[in-house]
Amino acid sequence: MLLEKISTGASLRLGIILASTRKGRFGETVAKWFEEISKQDYRFETDLIDLSEFSLPWDMSKDMDSDLPIFSDRIAEADAFVVITPEYNHGYPAYLKLAIDSLHEEWNAKPLGFVSYGGSSGGLRAVEQLRNVFAELRMTTIRDCVSFHWAHARFHNGRPTEEFRYASSAEKLLNELYWWGNVLKQARMNFPRSVLRS
């Protein structure tokens, strides 16, 4: 069962970040499913940010010939985020770390949720590390996440085999993101950014 359509006032811009850049990645399947779920929730305008589409400078310079300005704009425009991440050797993808570290203020004072996938741990070890990283960027991470353990076995024809279960987890995540997204958006509008740097 998918999320019911919700009609509300002002919507939030939700950046869905696909962290894996590997060829043949399973993350595309997970991301497309979650994007579809998100689009059914009228509280959000979704933007799928596929890291494989960006060429970012590995030395973290502000190289204007790279895709950094475009990436910066996409992150700055979002009010909330969901990161779709696999787990590689108990950690998260290196290119995701580069993407995170390439920016700073664009991330500040925004909420962030996770959809993870992997083997026996379902990618949760990557998520726990990412919580610490994003906390340093003054972001609020959502406690509840969507996690696919033995992910390849959980999907058939691009959809989870227990879709009601995972859609319910996604709904809980989106509800939290919407609440935090509105609170933090108002705070960004009403308080000077210098408060974050003091």
Report how far residue 191's alpha carbon sits from residue 37's, in angstroms, rounded to the nearest whole number.
33
Residue 119 CB neighbour total at 10 angstroms = 12
How many residues can be counted in the chain? 198
Report how far residue 94's alpha carbon sits from residue 155's, in angstroms, rounded to the nearest whole number.
26
Q: Model confidence over 145-154: pLDDT tens digits?
A: 999 999 999 9
pTM, 2 dp: 0.91
Under CATH, which architecture does the 12-191 domain have? 3-Layer(aba) Sandwich (3.40)
Break the chain into its structural domains and give their ranges: 12-191
Q: Are strands 159-160 and 155-156 parallel, antiparallel or unpaired?
A: antiparallel
pLDDT of 8: 45
Report how far residue 27's alpha carbon sits from residue 88's, in angstroms, rounded to the nearest whole number.
13
Q: Model confidence over 2-59: pLDDT tens digits?
A: 444 444 447 999 999 999 999 999 999 999 999 999 999 999 999 999 999 999 999 8
Q: Are 80 and 14 in contact (CB under 8 A)?
A: yes
Q: Are 114 and 83 in contact (CB under 8 A)?
A: yes
